[in-house]
Amino acid sequence: MKASTLLTQIGLGLMLGIVAFIVFGPLLNLAMWAFAEQWFYPNRFPTDWGFAFWERVFRPRAGAWVSLFNTIIVALLAVLLSMALAIPAGYALARQALPARNVIMLLFLLPQAFPNLPIFVNIAAIFYQWGLNGTLLGVVLVHSLPGLVYAVWIATATFATVDRSLEEAARNLGASPLRSFKDITLPQALPGLLAASIFVFLDSIDEFTGTFFVGAPEITTLPLLMFNASMGGNYQVAAITALILLIPSVGFMLIIERFLKADVLSRIGR
Amino acid sequence: MKPLTLTLGLLTATLTAPAMAATTLNVFTAGDDNMVEYINEFLAPRFEAMYPDVSVRALGTGPGDAGSQAIYETLSAQRDQATWSVDVAVVHQRMAGQMVEEGLLADYVDAIATGDLVSAQSARNALGVDVEGYVMPMFQSQIAIAYNPDLLEQPPESYTALANWVEEHPGQFGYNGITGGMAGVGFVFGWMYAFTDMADTLQNGPWEEDATARWEPALDQLRTFNQHVTMTPGNAGTLDAMNRGEIAMGPVWMDMYYTWKTDGRLNPNFRLLLLEPGMPGQPMYYTIPERAAEPDLAAEFIALATSPEIQAEGIVGQFNWFPGIDAEHVRSELSDAQWEQLYADVSPETLSERGFSMPQADYFRAILEAYESHVSR
Amino acid sequence: MQSARGTLLVLPALTAIALLYALPLARSLITAFRSNDGSWTTEHLARAFSLYGRDVLFSIGVVSASLVLITVISISIAGYLVLGTTPWAVRLLRWLYRWPLFIPFVVSGQLARSFLSTNGMMNGVLVETGLLAAANAQSFLDWRGLVLTFAWKQTPFVTLLLAGAMAAIDRSHIEAARNMGAGRLRCLFNILLPQAAPTLWVGLILSLVAMLSVLSVPLMLIAGNPTMMTSMMAHRITYYGDYGIANALGLFSYALTAVTAWVYLRLTLRREANP
């Protein structure tokens, strides 16, 4: 190996080391907090390690279990609701000649094109009148809004990639429209629709602002629990909750490309 | 789809099962996390032991007046309904006054056994509003300055000395402004008591139209002061910044300070002091909404929470907070050591001399608005 | 017939958008201009600007700085992923850069709170490696912390889009340029970037919207004023129940994204007019 190549390799290694530190440093710091029992200035490392705070987070009264259940239930219901709305809409937008199709596509783009905090604030005010504040339904609805946008986009792109000739063949053989959709179109579109569901699920798990205005204090989700712990100075509790929140995020990050194929990705928003 | 539906059903069942087995007492509390923790970890198990078919559900609505505002909005949104979703509300002084005026709270104090254990002025009057009969103090808290003796041996003891000190030690004093909780708000009120000639009027009234104009020198001074200090995110943020060695001193709630200390979360060397001429404190109030679903249970809950034993064992003994009911009823339940621990940093004399109340409701709001338009912009 | 059925299929989703988006949007626009007695007014706008003008400027500064940082880093990473000649480094980088992609904003806020504080790991490592004197260690939990956190969270997203767009470009262009002796940097800036620019813009605009929407991170990192507009909107509502000024602030944030989108559209149109 030539000296210059060696030098390049070392330089590359160094650069990647810095990138790795930037990416993993904060995560490592968080993990340290999750297991620190006593840690204050000027100690560079925790002076006491242990699981005491884990026990505290997960004891029955502390609310972590309820928040965890809420988070999962809300996310699942938001997926169900958005997909139930997005699959027919996406199919129609991809396949059928609709009047003002571009306007409709634009309409499904708007919620992601403008900051959503004012929207959530006003949804909360409206939900107060409808008695939906602090209810599970209210939170599911609020979580479905951004989810719906993703779901419609991805579903439209997915249905556009499904081979139309097979579907027409089935129809020619006498299958009903519903049957040909169920047996031919849906299986082919499944990976894309699963990707859409994952997006909605992740988005719902991340969702903070909407829950903050519509759900709190009756419905607490993990992000809210984490936020309150952090603002209350309970770094350990916040770190432990954050670690739990990281499981789905990192898990899906590692597998997302299996679901979202390049041909679907390139069609999003068209 | 089938397994999904099944999972969902199971989850819903697990969630609703305990709720159906018992009556739920909904306790909403404003304030920092330590309030929820006290109700959840200390009060609830004791109350549930007395009433096995009742489960207590404590919900925190957030620190500072924002937390009380959230309770107020929850209740006023349900004005037209027959029963409300809150059984016990723990609120700050300012909101208690407003809620009594708007008829959102029930008159219950005379009906409970511990009602006559409280004689403090603050149990009858909340920042200028007559609240007698509607509130029981949960505990009395006081804003004080915490400092780190490792970083400074001779802390400034008065607002004037502090104002000079920060110029020589930029960034060493930290507080949370007025958006992150009441410790910062209280520090600002103390500033107004110190640097305007209205300390007495601000606390006791009457309202004077031209008052805001007279505050300008004090606000300008505060603006200069702010340029030399560190801003911390929230009440807990101040303690946190001290823990991390970022600041040497800052205003904190004494109750939170002691909770953290007993938890081992705070450097044990830290000390407290009250700035001259004085700093404000306030009680948190137990209240019962006018149309609570379980008013009798709520009254029982408050009677337990304000009983001398619980006040001694929980409020003073375990958390080192000042009792809400009159001290003489609590004193006998405690050892001398526990009692002295309560005044370890701040003596009873200093407390009575320098422990002020919050400003009257009108001034309260006016000072915050003036701060936003003069100091923080 | 077919279009009627299509409309029927889209209708439920449209209704949901109307109720959950259009209605609150209309309400936010109207409340921004309504005084308490029901008459029309611009007083909320004026007060919002006089009270929080500095916060608006601060928000603009922070998002601009973040966008610059995101652009620089994502171009470098995406460029290296496409043009890099050391296979192991390309593979490792591809695996590394994506980690923050789906990490929730609240969690990134907490990560920043512990990592960037005076006593956090970043200063710790800098001090240990001798790059920083212990006495000079300071907290980065101010506008710098916000910029770093936003960049940390959003860069992978923009990079993912950009690298995808660059990878889709015909390799033969690059090979041809390389054969003619063009360096890799020239390839990146003269061939790859111009073609992938529209994707980069989309990524940046979506990041801008995300940064102007997020409430938790500024609440967790920034103490006092100035801070992001979102914090002050929430403050107006949680402290005073004051929807007028909060919605007026909302208008500013709409305007900010609208201006950016307009610039983007103009650039695209000009490009399409004279390619």
- Structural domain for A39, as ranges: 3-50
Q: Say whether both C204 and C242 belong to one domain.
A: yes
Q: Per residue in B249-273, pLDDT tens?
A: 999 999 889 888 887 778 888 999 9
Residues B137, B302: contact at Cβ < 8 Å? no
ipTM of this complex prediction, to 2 decimal places? 0.87
Predicted pLDDT of residue B21: 46
Q: Say whether both C9 and C119 belong to one domain.
A: no
Q: Say whether both B274 and B177 belong to one domain.
A: yes
Predicted pLDDT of residue C1: 54
Higher pLDDT, C201 or C269: C201
Average pLDDT over residues B147-154: 90
Residue window 206-235, chain A: list those with CB within 8 Å of chain C. Answer: 206, 208-209, 212-213, 223, 226-227, 230-231, 235
Closest approach of B161 to chain A, Cα-based (Å): 27
- Give the 3-state secondary structure of residue B291: coil
d(CA C158, CA C202): 9
Residue window 127-166, chain C: list those with CB within 8 Å of chain A. Answer: 152, 164
Q: Say whether both A26 and A114 belong to one domain.
A: no
A86 part of a folded domain: yes
Average pLDDT over residues A131-155: 90
Q: Say whether both B31 and B105 belong to one domain.
A: yes
Orientation angle between helical segments C2-17 and A64-95, nearest 10 degrees:
150
Closest CA to C137 of C148, C124, C150, C147: C124
Q: Say whether both B112 and B33 belong to one domain.
A: yes
Predicted pLDDT of residue C2: 63
Q: B151-160, C41-50, C171-180: lowest mean pLDDT where?
A: C171-180
DSSP per residue, B167-220: HHSTTSBEE-TTTS-HHHHHHHHHHHHHHSTTHHHHHH----TTHHHHTHHHHH
Residue A270 clears pLDDT 50, i.e. is over it: no
- C215 and chain B in contact, CB less than 8 A: no
Q: Per residue in B57-72, pLDDT tens?
A: 888 888 777 889 889 9
C37 part of a folded domain: no
Q: Do C51 and B372 touch (CB under 8 A)?
A: yes
Predicted pLDDT of residue C214: 94
Q: Do C239 and B179 touch (CB under 8 A)?
A: yes
Helices and strands of chain A, counted as H and E runs = 14, 2
C265 part of a folded domain: yes
Residues B354, B274: contact at Cβ < 8 Å? yes
Predicted pLDDT of residue A41: 66
Tokens of A23: 């990416």
Average pLDDT over residues A12-39: 90
A57 part of a folded domain: no
Only one residue has tokens 């992000």, namely A223
A216 part of a folded domain: yes
CATH number at residue A119: 1.10.3720.10
Preferred mutation among A22, A33, A171 to probe C, highest tally of C CBs within 10 A? A22
H/E run at residue A37: strand A36-38
**Looking at beta carbons, which residues of chain C come within 8 Å of B95?**
none
Q: Say whether both A35 and A160 belong to one domain.
A: no
Helices and strands of chain C, counted as H and E runs = 13, 0
- C31 and chain A in contact, CB less than 8 A: yes
d(CA B211, CA B201): 10
**Looking at beta carbons, which residues of chain C come within 8 Å of B371?**
none
d(CA A140, CA A78): 5
Residue C76 clears pLDDT 90, i.e. is over it: yes
Predicted pLDDT of residue A104: 85
Q: Say whether both A141 and A183 belong to one domain.
A: yes
For the entire predicted model, the pTM comes to 0.85
- Give the 3-state secondary structure of residue B279: strand
Q: Say whether both B150 and B274 belong to one domain.
A: yes
Q: Say whether both A45 and A174 belong to one domain.
A: no
B20 band by pLDDT with thresholds 50, 70 and 90: very low
Q: Per residue in B87-134, pLDDT tens?
A: 999 999 989 999 999 999 999 999 999 999 988 888 888 988 999 999
Contacts of A37 (CB under 8 A, 6+ apart): A46, A48, A49, A50, A52, A53, A236, B264
Q: Say whether both A70 and A26 belong to one domain.
A: no
Predicted pLDDT of residue A257: 66
C128 part of a folded domain: yes
**Looking at beta carbons, which residues of chain B come within 8 Å of C219?**
233
Predicted pLDDT of residue B97: 92
d(CA B316, CA B285): 17
d(CA B19, CA B31): 25
- Winning range, highest mean pLDDT, from A107-116, B101-110, B254-263, C169-178: B101-110
A56 part of a folded domain: no
- Winning range, highest mean pLDDT, from A17-21, A157-161, C190-194, C266-270: A17-21
CATH number at residue B371: 3.40.190.10
Q: Quick one: CA torsion of A233, A237, A239, A241, rounded to 10 degrees? A: -130
Q: Say whether both B72 and B177 belong to one domain.
A: no
Inter-CA distances, B63 with A189, A207, B42, Å: 48, 21, 20
Only one residue has tokens 């512990």, namely C114
Q: Say whether both C18 and C106 belong to one domain.
A: no
- Give the 3-state secondary structure of residue C27: helix
Pairing of strands B23-29, B54-60: parallel
Q: Say whether both B88 and B224 belong to one domain.
A: no
Residue C135 clears pLDDT 80, i.e. is over it: no
- Structural domain for C86, as ranges: 42-273
Q: Do B14 and A218 touch (CB under 8 A)?
A: no
Percent of chain C whose predicted confidence (pLDDT) is above 70:
98
Residue C138 clears pLDDT 80, i.e. is over it: no
Q: Say whether both A24 and A154 belong to one domain.
A: no
Predicted pLDDT of residue C142: 85
Predicted pLDDT of residue A265: 57
Higher pLDDT, C229 or C271: C229
Residue B81, number of CB atoms within 10 A of its CB: 10
Q: Say whether both B69 and B118 belong to one domain.
A: yes
Cis before C226 (ω within 30): yes
Q: Say whether both C159 and C243 belong to one domain.
A: yes
Q: Per residue in B297-331, pLDDT tens?
A: 999 999 999 999 999 998 888 878 889 998 888 88
Q: A33-47, B277-291, C153-167, C168-182: lowest mean pLDDT where?
A: A33-47
- A25 and chain C in contact, CB less than 8 A: yes
A218 part of a folded domain: yes
Which chains have 3 or more CB–CB distances shorter than 8 Å to chain B?
Answer: A, C
Predicted pLDDT of residue B359: 92
Q: A238-242, B2-6, B259-263, C37-41: lowest mean pLDDT where?
A: B2-6
Residues B230, B173: contact at Cβ < 8 Å? yes
Closest Cα in chain A to C251? A118
Q: Say whether both C226 and C104 belong to one domain.
A: yes
Q: Say whether both B241 and B112 belong to one domain.
A: no
Residues A17, C94: contact at Cβ < 8 Å? no
DSSP B280: E
H/E run at residue B343: none
The number of folded domains in chain C is 2
Q: Say whether both A77 and A105 belong to one domain.
A: yes
C200 part of a folded domain: yes
Mean pLDDT in chain B? 87
Predicted pLDDT of residue B14: 47
Pairing of strands B279-287, B355-356: parallel
Contacts of A80 (CB under 8 A, 6+ apart): B4
Q: A61-65, B11-15, B257-261, C111-115: lowest mean pLDDT where?
A: B11-15
B18 band by pLDDT with thresholds 50, 70 and 90: very low
Q: Do A145 and C254 touch (CB under 8 A)?
A: no
Predicted pLDDT of residue A1: 54
Q: Say whether both A19 and A110 belong to one domain.
A: no
- B253 and chain A in contact, CB less than 8 A: no
Nearest to A40 among B41, B234, B267 (CB): B267
B13 part of a folded domain: no
Q: Do C114 and A9 touch (CB under 8 A)?
A: no
d(CA C207, CA C105): 12
Average pLDDT over residues A102-110: 83
d(CA C99, CA C153): 9
Tokens of B109: 């104090």
- Structural domain for B104, as ranges: 23-140+282-346
Q: Say whether both A249 and A160 belong to one domain.
A: yes
- A37 and chain B in contact, CB less than 8 A: yes
Closest CA to C74 of A19, A253, A24: A19
Q: Give the 3-state DSSP-derived string for B122-180, with helices as H, strands as E and coil as C.
A: HHCEECCEECCCCCEEEEEEEEEEEECCCCCCCCCCEHHHHHHHHHHCCCCEEECCCCC
Task: Report, in angstroms and rounded to the nearest whole number, the Rg of chain B calculated over CA atoms.
Answer: 22
Q: Say whether both A131 and A96 belong to one domain.
A: yes
Q: Say whether both C122 and C252 belong to one domain.
A: yes
Nearest to B70 among A76, A217, A220 (CB): A217
Predicted pLDDT of residue A261: 59
Q: Say whether both B336 and B363 belong to one domain.
A: no
Closest CA to A48 of B237, B150, B264: B264
Q: Do C222 and B66 touch (CB under 8 A)?
A: no
Q: Say whether both C13 and C115 belong to one domain.
A: no
Only one residue has tokens 């569901």, namely A197
Q: Say whether both A158 and A238 belong to one domain.
A: yes
Nearest to B66 among C141, C231, C238 (CB): C238
The number of folded domains in chain B is 2
d(CA B257, CA B346): 13
Predicted pLDDT of residue C59: 95
Average pLDDT over residues B173-181: 86
Predicted pLDDT of residue A229: 86
d(CA B288, CA B340): 33
B272 part of a folded domain: yes
What's the number of CA atoms in the CB half-sphere (13 Å) around residue B195?
22
Q: Do C224 and B376 touch (CB under 8 A)?
A: yes
B79 part of a folded domain: yes
Q: A35-44, B216-225, C85-94: lowest mean pLDDT where?
A: A35-44
Q: Say whether both B239 and B333 belong to one domain.
A: no
Q: Say whether both C12 and C52 belong to one domain.
A: no
Mean pLDDT in chain C? 88
Q: Say whether both A33 and A76 belong to one domain.
A: no
Higher pLDDT, B12 or A46: A46
Inter-CA distances, A81 with A84, A87, B104, C8, C23, Å: 5, 10, 37, 17, 19
Nearest to C104 among A84, A110, A249 (CB): A249
Q: Quick one: CA torsion of C263, C267, C273, C275, rounded to 10 degrees? A: 180
Q: Per residue in C207-242, pLDDT tens?
A: 999 999 999 999 988 877 788 999 999 988 888 888
The number of folded domains in chain A is 2
Q: Do C28 and A118 touch (CB under 8 A)?
A: yes
- Winning range, highest mean pLDDT, from A109-113, B68-72, B192-196, B339-343: B192-196
Burial call C18-39: b when 16+ CB within 10 Å, e when fewer = eebbbebbebbbebbbbeeeee
Closest Cα in chain B to A128? B77
Q: Per residue in A70-86, pLDDT tens?
A: 999 999 999 999 999 99
Higher pLDDT, A109 or C32: C32
B262 part of a folded domain: yes
Residue C194, number of CB atoms within 10 A of its CB: 11
Predicted pLDDT of residue B121: 85
Predicted pLDDT of residue A168: 82
C126 part of a folded domain: yes
Tokens of A79: 């997926």
Residue B362, number of CB atoms within 10 A of its CB: 16
DSSP per residue, C211-261: HHH--HHHHHH--SSS--HHHHHHHHHHHH--HHHHHHHHHHHHHHHHHHH
Residues B85, B293: contact at Cβ < 8 Å? yes
Q: Say whether both B131 and B159 belong to one domain.
A: no
Kindly tell me the burial class for residue B318, based on how many C-beta atoms sit within 10 Å of its own C-beta (0-12, 13-18, 19 or more): middle
Tokens of C106: 């609240």
Q: Do C89 and A12 touch (CB under 8 A)?
A: yes
- Give the 3-state secondary structure of residue C132: coil
